[in-house]
Amino acid sequence: MTIAAGVVDRAQRTSPRAPVRRPRRIRKQTVAAWCFLAPSLIILAVFVFWPIVYSFDLSVHRWKFSADAQAWVGMANYERMWRDARFWNALGNTVYYTVFTVPLGIVLPLALAMLLNQAIPLRSLLRSAFFLPVIASFAIVALAWRFMLDPDIGLLAYWLSFLGFPHVSPLRDPNLAMPSVILASLWKNLGFNMVIYLAGLQSIPQVLYEAARIDGANRWQQFANVTWPQLRNTNIFVLVISVIGAFQVFDPSFVMTPGGGPLFSTDTLVTYIYHTGITNLNLSYAASIGIFLFVVVFILTLIQMRLTRAWEQ
């Protein structure tokens, strides 16, 4: 009898709106559930949901940390963004960073993953080597990059001088600072996308390749007709998280080129928010730029959900 009751209860639980046949037990579980959830929900409410709501509130006020009163200013903060050359500069730099890190950060890891998915010697050692930068703190390895590119002590700067680069730090050159940050970021994140692509490649059924080979498909045809279409969802995922991640870049710019870089050439949206809100304590304006970034990320997330769902239907 007890087993049967358990089975009935299970069937009932999986149906969406099952009639409550055991109110006492459900009540007991409800109390237990809210006890289990309470600590997490309180923390998420205070430190995730409230700050988002508070962002919108701040963005329609004018408030410096020092002042007591918050004056309602409506859309003034957003209008100020429209006229703020440093905001547009930061947005432009962020787009510049995104346009280079995202495509290269997809093509290189995919190529690596495909090569490392073959039965070649030293495979796991090579995989670990490419993965190494992923487990390191970006702030700390960015210091190493900064020193390596320093013309007084850096080996990389020394080698670059043989390639005809001037004997100054590329990090102090407005045209070379951002490419240096991009290079360091590609290096840091290579292994991350590689692992995601390896997982994607390994989930492709081998029978598809066998069938393609029986049909006489060469390596390129196998890639174009099996690998690439099968990786569609992985590609969408990698593309969207890469773009979202690129729009939120902070560590390499802040550590390699403090203060926004030469002529603010490496100032990104997040370093500009940090500068505005934390360094200058102009909280309401910083919150408005945060809202702008939030909208961008939100749209990207919606696009990903749309694309993934369209594929599954």
Partner 1 sequence: MATARTPRIGEDGKEAPGPLFTTVTLIVLGVLALAVVFPFIWMLFTSLKPESEIATYPPRLLPRTWTFENYENVWNRIPFARLFVNSIAFAGGVTVVSLALDSMSAYALARLEFPGRNVVFVLILIALMLPFQVMFVPLFVTVHDLHLLDSFGGLIIPRATNAFGIFLLRQFFVTLPKELDEAARMDGCSEFGIYWRIILPLSGPALATLAVFHFMYNWNDFLWPLLITSSLEMRTLPAGLALFVGSHVIEYGVVMAGAVLALLPLLIAFLFAQRYFIQGIAMSGIKE
Residue 263 CB, nearest distance to partner 1 (Å)? 19
Sign of the torsion angle spanned by Cα atoms 153, 157, 163, 166: negative
Residue 30 CB, nearest distance to partner 1 (Å)? 4
Report the residue number, 154 or 261, with the smaller CB distance to partner 1: 154
Residue 218 CB, nearest distance to partner 1 (Å)? 11
Residue 84 CB, nearest distance to partner 1 (Å)? 16
Residue 300 CB, nearest distance to partner 1 (Å)? 10
Residues 306 and 236 sit within 8 Å (Cβ to Cβ) = no
Report the residue number, 49 or 88, with the smaller CB distance to partner 1: 49
Residues 72 and 60 sit within 8 Å (Cβ to Cβ) = yes
Residue 173 CB, nearest distance to partner 1 (Å)? 19
Report the residue number, 154 or 173, with the smaller CB distance to partner 1: 154
Residue 82 CB, nearest distance to partner 1 (Å)? 19
Residues 194 and 116 sit within 8 Å (Cβ to Cβ) = yes
Contact partners, residue 262, CB within 8 Å, separation at least 6:
171, 172, 173, 174, 177
3-state secondary structure of 258: helix
Report the residue number, 91 or 141, with the smaller CB distance to partner 1: 141
E strand or H helix at 71: strand 71-72
DSSP secondary structure of 144-208: HHHHHT-TTT-HHHHHHHHTT--SS-GGGSTTTHHHHHHHHHHHHHHHHHHHHHHHHHHTS-HHH
Report the residue number, 28 or 263, with the smaller CB distance to partner 1: 28
List Cα–Cα distances, 64 to 36, 173, 194, in angstroms. Answer: 39, 34, 44
Which of 135, 86, 144 is CA-nearest to residue 285? 86
List Cα–Cα distances, 204 to 41, 193, 223, in angstroms. Answer: 38, 17, 12
Between CA 104 and CA 112 the distance in angstroms is 12
